[in-house]
């Protein structure tokens, strides 16, 4: 009889996950309780992560062509969804999902020129940094 885990999103929605899928997450694996709250991750995103886990728990062989195609489609989402997924997967410590997502970001960066990356990549907010530098210099 496999256990059922409950994952709660930041907007209070609960997802029930079978043991096989849930244990893909190192965070869940090392947790003592079967009820885990995932802070800062909304239902929409958590739902997608659960979907990935369910898909990967089903099929043993991750090198299977069908799974690869499913994975490729899974990561073809908008940038902001992608970053939210990375945050969630990182919190839950699902290595394979993190690798797939970061590879996708890498591929997207490679497809653009440097200038575009600097302007669209949110974490590297160059404008803000430059403004702060100027402020500290007294401008």
Partner 1 sequence: MEISWTKEMSSGSHSSKDLPTAILLNILSRLPAKSLFRFQCVSKIFYKLVNDPSLAAMHLQHTDMIEEPPLVMVHSRSASKYSRLMLFRGWKYNGDSWTATSYDDSFSSGILSIETKYELEFASGGLLCFKDSSLSRGPALLCNPLRGEALELPPSNVNSLSRLNEWYGIGVDATTSTYKIVNIVFGIDPSRSSSYLTQVHVLGTSSWRRIPAVPPCGLSKQNAFAYGNTYWLIGQCILCFDFNEERFIWTSHPNLPSKRVLNLLNLRGSLAIVDATSVSVTEVEVWVLKSHDKKEWVKDYNIKLNVGPSYCYEWWPLNCFILVDDSRSRKSIVGVLHYNLGWGSRKRLRCGNGRVEVNSVPKIFSYTGSLISLKTYGNLLVEGSEAAQGIGTLLSGKAT
**102 near partner 1, rule: CB under 8 A:** yes
Q: Give the separation between CA 80 and CA 83, rounded to whole angstroms.
A: 5
User: Within 48-87, which residues bind partner 1 (CB under 8 A)?
Assistant: 78-80, 83-84, 86-87
Q: What is the C-alpha separation between 16 and 88, in angstroms, rounded?
A: 16
Instruction: Give 20 or 43: the residue with its C-beta nearer to partner 1.
Output: 43
23-52 binders of partner 1 (CB under 8 A)? 40
CA 50 to each of CA 5, 15, 69, 80, 126: distance values in angstroms, whole numbers, following the listed order: 11, 8, 18, 18, 34
Task: Tell me: does residue 109 bind partner 1 (CB under 8 A).
Answer: yes
| CB nearer partner 1, residue 122 or residue 138 | 122
């Amino acid at each position: 009889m496999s256990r059922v885990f409950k994952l709660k999103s930041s907007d209070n929605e609960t997802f029930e996950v079978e043991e096989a899928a849930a244990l893909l997450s190192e965070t869940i694996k090392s947790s003592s309780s079967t009820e885990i709250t995932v802070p800062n991750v909304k239902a929409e995103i958590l739902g997608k992560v659960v979907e990935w886990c369910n898909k990967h728990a089903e099929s043993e062989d991750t090198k299977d062509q069908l799974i690869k195609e499913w994975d490729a489609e899974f990561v073809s989402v908008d940038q902001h969804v992608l970053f939210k997924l990375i945050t969630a997967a990182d919190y839950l410590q699902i290595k394979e999902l993190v690798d797939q997502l970061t590879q996708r970001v890498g591929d997207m960066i490679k497809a653009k020129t440097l200038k575009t990356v600097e302007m669209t990549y949110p974490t590297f907010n160059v404008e803000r940094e430059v403004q702060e530098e100027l402020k500290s210099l007294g401008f």
